[in-house]
Chain A
């Protein structure tokens, strides 16, 4: 009861803060710019979404299979190599990755996507590995004792029971990438960073915010959509256990 009440209060409080930010943004002329150039905003948002979307698909496509691979008994002893590699990937600043990769891929969106992909590997990889390794060993023992093949053990027990952690990693990296993708402008990758950096060079807070506010909204909306997706993907029997934990 009380936790529900505090949750409601916090939600209302956050809503008020968001509203206040919007009002301030309006006062600074944000919406004036957007209203005057609606096509700009739409095009840049689509570019931004493409950057985030493509890099997310690529990093899920790499990190999840890689995470699964290093949890297989055969490759278990190599998991530290992969995890450390991904750790380094996370520690190198995104801007530095952009600069480094630029010398190979040149300017443009491919470079941006590569950098975003590299940056979002770790959360997904680490969560995949942790999720699979933390599946209750007794369940696996029961499954093996009942005669499941290694394939069945993986698809029926390990993967579904690790889904919560894997989805959490995907959600984290996507939301971070929405913000990081703003840097793509610097190497000609497009996206909403265009408005932000233009605003910075022009000392125009209105233009900065007309880029920044959509980025924030995009992050919130994507997180919400992924949260809904979680409800579909994660087995119902697991949701409660994780909520309780």
Chain B
């Protein structure tokens, strides 16, 4: 668990003081991804870097697992927290294997343990351990480099990870792909992750909690659904954008909507249907897009085994009025 208590950062330049982070209070539960969201210069990166003390705190306290980070040994603290930055920050003078084993080596692991950890991490990242072992960062594509960057942060299995726009420099297709892989990995790893982003869609997709900042102040803290359905002030509603109700749909699956519908037609044989098909596991935004593209505004819902479950129409979305994702037993 990470707790921010009255965290403040003031940069002094001569007699002019600039408050970059102003009295921040919130906490992130263990195993959650908390996305720090906001425009550039809102203090989100400063706040992140104060957690591993790359930036000293002016006043207030940051506690990781109940321990004030300023009472801990700085080097030990940093080695126990995974750190990923934009443009990956891989060390060009080291091979991929050496890069991944930087922290384990500093912690004094033995060779065989590091070798095993390297190949485990490469497997997890979907990269061939043998092929990349002796290669250097410049020989890899941007997406591969970023994967290595994440693997490197995971190497010593730290309970907490700090990620500063790790997917920011990637093209949209690779970014989407890596986000999905990242979520898959997180499902197993259950790390506590602080994740800086300026992309609302990325935040909705990845976050358990979102913290929105503006001009050093915390504007709102809550689940993606709370932020989208109930923006606290005009800054938040402007930031999440006009189509926030549309964005909310990405938080729900077709399965969730179908469960709400009493009259969902079940008796359809495979032979009758020739129109559009939607999987129950699809998110509702994609489902809506498919329905709008369908000639008669209808599509057939199928389960994992391609069995036909029933017909979905655009009008069925009215069942969602005043319903929040947290009301479902199956959320995401």
Q: Which of B89-121 contact A (CB under 8 A)?
A: 89-95, 102-103, 106
Q: Does B289 touch A at the CB level, under 8 Å?
A: no
Of B52, B80, B85, B138, which contacts A138 at CB under 8 A?
B85
Bound-state Cα–Cα, A142 to B79, Å: 11
Contact: A139 with B76, CB < 8 Å? no
Contact: A145 with B85, CB < 8 Å? yes
Q: Does B87 touch A at the CB level, under 8 Å?
A: yes
Contact: B136 with A144, CB < 8 Å? no
Contact: B136 with A147, CB < 8 Å? no
Q: Does B162 touch A at the CB level, under 8 Å?
A: yes
Across the interface, name the chain B residue whose C-beta is closest to A143: B91
Nearest chain B CB to A213 CB, angstrom units? 40
Q: Does B83 touch A at the CB level, under 8 Å?
A: yes
Across the interface, name the chain A residue whose C-beta is closest to B136: A237
Nearest chain B CB to A35 CB, angstrom units? 49
Q: Does B78 touch A at the CB level, under 8 Å?
A: yes
Across the interface, name the chain A residue whose C-beta is closest to B107: A147
Q: Does A238 touch B at the CB level, under 8 Å?
A: yes
**Chain A CB within 10 A, most for which of B88, B89, B138:** B89
Nearest chain A CB to B109 CB, angstrom units? 14
B91 contact set on A, CB distance < 8 A: 139, 142-143, 156-157, 161
Contact: A146 with B78, CB < 8 Å? yes
Bound-state Cα–Cα, A139 to B94, Å: 12
Q: Does A103 touch B at the CB level, under 8 Å?
A: no
**Chain B CB within 10 A, most for which of A136, A142, A244:** A142
Bound-state Cα–Cα, A142 to B155, Å: 14
Nearest chain A CB to B191 CB, angstrom units? 16
Q: How large is the interface on A (under 10, 10 to 19, 20 to 34, 35 or more residues)?
A: 20 to 34
Across the interface, name the chain B residue whose C-beta is closest to A159: B93
Chain B proximity mask over A151-190: 1 for CB below 8 Å, otherwise 0: 0100011001100000000000000000000000000000
- Interface of A, secondary structure class, is helix
A146 contact set on B, CB distance < 8 A: 78-79, 83, 102-103, 106, 152-153
Please judge, given known A-B contacts A157-B91, A161-B92, A237-B95, whether A145 and B76 are in contact too, CB under 8 Å. Answer: no
A3 contact set on B, CB distance < 8 A: none
Contact: A142 with B83, CB < 8 Å? yes
Q: Does B330 touch A at the CB level, under 8 Å?
A: no
Q: Does B224 touch A at the CB level, under 8 Å?
A: no
Bound-state Cα–Cα, A42 to B138, Å: 46
Contact: A241 with B92, CB < 8 Å? yes
Nearest chain B CB to A225 CB, angstrom units? 23
Q: Which of A205-237 contact B (CB under 8 A)?
A: 235-237
Q: Which of B281-328 contact A (CB under 8 A)?
A: none
Please judge, given known A-B contacts A157-B91, A240-B136, whether A147 and B54 are in contact too, CB under 8 Å. Answer: no
Please judge, given known A-B contacts A138-B85, A236-B136, A237-B136, whether A147 and B93 are in contact too, CB under 8 Å. Answer: no
A241 contact set on B, CB distance < 8 A: 92, 138
Nearest chain B CB to A232 CB, angstrom units? 14
Please judge, given known A-B contacts A142-B85, A147-B77, whether A161 and B93 are in contact too, CB under 8 Å. Answer: yes
Bound-state Cα–Cα, A70 to B277, Å: 68
Nearest chain A CB to B158 CB, angstrom units? 10
**Chain A CB within 10 A, most for which of B91, B93, B136:** B93
Contact: A238 with B106, CB < 8 Å? no
A142 contact set on B, CB distance < 8 A: 83, 85, 88-91
Contact: B76 with A235, CB < 8 Å? no
Contact: A139 with B89, CB < 8 Å? yes
Can you list 10 residue pairs at the A/B interface with Cβ under 8 Å? A138-B87, A139-B92, A145-B54, A146-B79, A146-B153, A147-B77, A147-B80, A147-B103, A156-B102, A157-B91
Interface residues of A (CB under 8 A from B): 136, 138-139, 141-149, 152, 156-157, 160-161, 235-238, 240-241, 244
Interface residues of B (CB under 8 A from A): 49, 52, 54, 75-80, 83, 85, 87-95, 102-103, 106, 136-139, 152-153, 162
Given A142-B88, A146-B79, 18 more contacts at CB 8 Å?
A138-B87, A141-B54, A142-B83, A142-B85, A144-B78, A145-B78, A146-B106, A147-B79, A147-B80, A148-B102, A152-B106, A157-B93, A161-B93, A235-B94, A237-B93, A237-B136, A240-B139, A244-B138
